Amino acid sequence: MVLSALVLLLALAWALLPQLFAGQSPTATVGPALQAPSAAHWFGTDSTGRDLYTRVVHGASHSILAATVAVTVGLIAGTTLGVIAGSLGGLVEDAIMRLVDVLLAIPGLLLSLSVVILLGFGTTNAAIAVGVTSIATFARLSRSRVLAVRRSEYVEAAFGSGGTLPGILWRHVLPNSAAPVVALAALQLGSAILQISTLGFLGYGAPPPTPEWGLLIAEGRDYVATAWWLTLLPGLVVAAVVLATNRLSTAIGQEDQA
């Protein structure tokens, strides 16, 4: 738990203040091409002599912040739909949940590729596309929590004392439904990093020479036999951050159940 928190905090620090950890420009040539990791270049250099560690650090600002945007899109849109469905019921709930079923029936990567093709390439559009794929998951969870909390005695008492639906939702239902949604948001952050990196690897994310994590791995695939560090080290960073977010989301979920 502590190690996961430290890994995630370090990644967030990279994303917010990359100059503190790597003062060089991520696009500047600083040494010989394809130099192995050393004291001078911790992650080695790429095919044009750029410092790979610097590019990984600066890439956090693209990958992690884009993943945060994606989770925010899914959280706001999905939770809003779920709360509306769970609180109003009837035809409104049926219509929303059928839309959710359609979104869940489409594989996430295929849906994100379709959206990013419609919007255009780039980090922001990739983040929105990944966010769309998580709307259905947030909607189903928030709806189920709203339905469960609405059956509670204190909610029934609030209705009996003359409380309005918007007021009861804001004061009682939403606060008591938030913990599982927050845990899901932490879990979705790791998934969003993977999806955005996948889109970058496939060429649908940020264009070169942007130091986006998926793009860094893609740039090194032609040199796997001779310069293993170009794909392995950025891949390990992505894996560590994703595992850290998953561990934290599990911990949050266990605390909620307790």
pLDDT recorded at residue 160 = 63
Is pLDDT of 121 > 90?
no
- Give CA–CA dist 123/23, Å, rounded: 23
Mean pLDDT of 37-48: 93
pLDDT recorded at residue 49 = 93
Indicate the range of 12-16, 158-162, 201-205 predicted with least confidence: 158-162
Mean pLDDT of 83-97: 89
- Give CA–CA dist 236/229, Å, rounded: 10
- Name the pLDDT band for 254 (thresholds 50, 70, 90): low
- Give CA–CA dist 45/230, Å, rounded: 8
For the chain, give every domain's residue range: 2-12+66-257
To the nearest 10°, the Cα dihedral for 85, 89, 92, 94? 90
Q: What percent of the chain has pLDDT over 70?
A: 90
- Residue 45, token pair as written in the block: 């250099």
pLDDT recorded at residue 137 = 93
Q: Which residue has the higher pLDDT, 37 or 150?
A: 37
- Name the pLDDT band for 1 (thresholds 50, 70, 90): confident
pLDDT in tens, 169-207: 777 677 777 778 888 888 889 899 999 999 999 988 888
Burial of 115 (0-12, 13-18, 19+ CB in 10 A): middle
Closest CA to 21 of 48, 50, 59, 49: 59
**Phi/psi of residue 51, nearest 5 degrees:** -70, 120
pLDDT in tens, 135-154: 999 999 999 888 887 766 66
Mean pLDDT of 11-26: 92
pTM, to two decimals = 0.85
pLDDT recorded at residue 131 = 94
- Name the pLDDT band for 11 (thresholds 50, 70, 90): very high
**Which of these CATH numbers, 3.40.30.10, 3.40.50.450, 3.10.20.30, 1.10.3720.10, describes 2-12+66-257?**
1.10.3720.10
Long-range contacts of 221-226 (CB under 8 A, 24+ apart): 223/34, 223/47, 226/34
pLDDT recorded at residue 145 = 86
Beta carbons within 8 Å of 233's beta carbon, 6+ residues apart: 37, 43, 44, 52, 56
- Give CA–CA dist 192/4, Å, rounded: 17
Q: What percent of the chain has pLDDT over 90?
A: 53
pLDDT recorded at residue 123 = 85
